[in-house]
Each structure stands twice: as C-alpha cells, then as structure tokens.
Amino acid sequence: MKESTHILMTLDFWRICISNFLLYAAVWTLLPVLPAQCYLMGMNTQEMAILFLLFVAGMIGVGPLHAFLGDVFKRKYLLLLFTLVAALCFSGWLMATEVWQVMLLMLIAGASFGIATTAGITIGIDITQSNRRGVGNRIYAFSGALGLLIGICCSSSVYLNLGFNNLVIISLLLFLLSFIMVTSIYVAFRAPVGVGLFNIDRFFLPLAWVPAINVCLLSFGIGMLLNLLPPYSWIGLLMVVGLTALSVPLTRLFVKLSHHCQRGTANTTLQLATQTGLDLGLIEGERIANNLLFGVITILLSVLMFVTVSWPYFKQKRVRP
C-alpha cells in the first residue's frame, strides 16, 4: 500500500517546511557571490579558501553537540536562536572591513547554520505522526533543496543588478521570514534523556559513510560549476536542478540505512555531505582555471562511484525494507 500524505497536511508541518525553504534560500542567496565580493575586499584565493573552509568547519565542528543541545534545550528555541545568529553573521558582511572579521563571521555562520538545520530536521520529524515520518522526511528535505536551488538561481542576477548590499538585505529578509514562520509552530515538550555532551547521534550516520562520500563528491563537482561565466553558467544551474530532484530519492536511500529513531540523523548526514561538497566545490572552482572540465569529470566519477560502490554497498547494508 502506498503511503498517504493526507495526515501531513497540517499547518505546523507546512510551516516548518516553508521555514526550511526560506533558511536555505537565505544562505544560498549569498554564498555563490561571496568569492566575487572577497576579490573586491582584496582577498587572495588562499584567504578565500580558508573562508569557506571555516564555514564548513563550523558546520562540522558543532555536529557532536547536536544531540546534547537538542536534549537540554527546546528544539524550537534552538532553531529560532541560531537562525537569528546566522542572519546577523551574514548581515555582518555589510560592516566588515578586515579579513579576520569575515573569517570569524563565516565560522560562526557555519556553526549556526548547522545547528539550525539539524534542529529543523528534528522538529519536522517530531511533529509528524510516526507512520508518516518517511514521506514527511522526504518532503522536508526537498523543501531545503528547493530553497538552495532558488537561492543559487537568484544570487548572481540580483548581485549584478542590485549590488551586494541589497543582496544581503534580501538574504536578511529571508532569514527573518524563516524566523517568523517558526514562531507560530507548536512543538510538544519532550523530557530530557541525559545525552552526553559529545555524541554523533543526530549528526552523522556511520552506516551511511559510503553514500555520504559519494554525495559529497557529486556536490563538489556541481559546486565547481557554479562559478562558470556566460554562456556556460546555465550548466551549473542545470546541475543544481538535478541535485534538487535527487534530494527525495537520496533521502530515502539514507533513511533505509538507518535504524529506528535515526531518520533525523540520516537526513542530517545527507545535508552535511551536500553542503560540504557544494561549499568546497564553489571555492575550488574559483581557484582553478578549467573548472568546467574538472567539474564535469568529478560529477562523472561520482556517478561511476554510485554504480560500482555505493549502490552495491546500499543493497548489502540497508536496514529498512
């Protein structure tokens, strides 16, 4: 029997999905144009690489704290707080004048984005009835992927036509809309269970390490294509459309490698692999000359890896039917 989605059609569920869409759109409205802005600030490619590495380091560094924070504090408050912190960090680009300032902003922004997205995933699962969490998880994942797509599609055109300052303001408005959407969501109280300070639960699914590397490689190749100039810029956008379309089947694949109560961890692992690959690919594409060739080769290698390694691994290790 096919899963029915009618029970998902609650106001709170769609609010968290819209909030997730707006959050990803806010971040990815800015990230693709930051290399160009860095050049205007006088930064070299090495400094830009460090900048994006700090953003990734922030996302990964707070990972082992996700379970503890979600246990000690209300998940809704975590999402609200770190959505605001991320918004303040990105809006800080309007005032930053030194390289160390934007590096600090990116580190905190990465950590805040990581905590906010994980809290959102947990809320999305918790407000969905247990027998509909599979399809709910996929819809929620797609909302973030769609926000990423819209943000990337609008980024360069808005930057070229309205300038960086207006782009930051648009991003800030998206953050605030995401924040407002979360305030109206009811999340039931859940008693703390005494999780340790450092824990990979809700951060990384060990059984999914092979497909996670595969997704990271694919996203890395796509990220390299986001810096293409006309008339080739459409290639990068087309690949992002493909990545958005893959978000649903990939979420299903990762969830099938998870045990009971690990859906959120599976989703977080997929998002971490995707965001890490895109961020690193974005700056690597800025650093090398022939990013079109290397990007396409990387994408083809990721497809080959999926066929020869990841899919056989998945069939052998899958937990859920």
pLDDT at residue 313 greater than cutoff 80? yes
The continuous run of DSSP H or E covering 35 comes out as helix 34-40
What are the residue ranges spanned by the domains of the chain? Answer: 8-185+203-317
Q: Are the beta carbons of 240 and 149 closer than 8 angstroms? A: yes
Average pLDDT over residues 180-205: 80
Which three-class secondary structure state does DSSP give residue 260?
coil
How many helices and strands in the chain, by DSSP H and E? 13, 0
Per-residue pLDDT at 2: 40
Residues whose CB falls within 8 Å of the CB of residue 31, separated by 6 or more in sequence, listed in order: 151, 155, 279, 282
Per-residue pLDDT at 238: 93
The CB density around residue 287, as the number of other CB atoms within 10 Å, is 14
CA distance 70 to 305: 35
Per-residue pLDDT at 224: 92
Q: How far is CA 28 from CA 152, 176, 195, 238, 319, in A?
A: 6, 15, 32, 16, 33
Residues whose CB falls within 8 Å of the CB of residue 192, separated by 6 or more in sequence, listed in order: 71, 72
**Tokens 């609650």 -> residue:** 10
Kindly report, residue by residue over 62-74, the tens digit of the pLDDT: 988 877 888 788 8
Of residues 181, 225, 207, the one with CA closest to residue 320: 207
Give the pLDDT band of residue 192 (cuts 50, 70, 90): low
Mean pLDDT score of the chain, rounded to an integer? 89
Kindly report, residue by residue over 93-143, the tens digit of the pLDDT: 999 889 999 999 999 999 999 999 999 998 988 888 777 777 888 999 999
Residue 77, token pair as written in the block: 């408050």
The continuous run of DSSP H or E covering 245 comes out as helix 233-255
Q: Angle at CA 272, nearest 5°, toward 122 and 112?
A: 65
CATH number of the domain at 8-185+203-317, please? 1.20.1250.20
Q: Are the beta carbons of 68 and 196 closer than 8 angstroms? A: yes
Q: Are the beta carbons of 215 and 274 closer than 8 angstroms? A: yes
CA distance 138 to 249: 8
Kindly report, residue by residue over 155-184, the tens digit of the pLDDT: 988 998 999 999 999 999 999 999 999 999
Return the C-alpha torsion angle 225, 229, 235, 239, nearest 10: 40
Kindly report, residue by residue over 28-59, the tens digit of the pLDDT: 999 999 988 988 888 988 899 999 999 999 99
Residues whose CB falls within 8 Å of the CB of residue 216, separated by 6 or more in sequence, listed in order: 273, 274, 276, 277
**Cα-to-chain-centroid distance, residue 254:** 15
Per-residue pLDDT at 321: 75
pLDDT at residue 3 greater than cutoff 50? no
- Give the whole-number percent of the chain exceeding pLDDT 70: 95
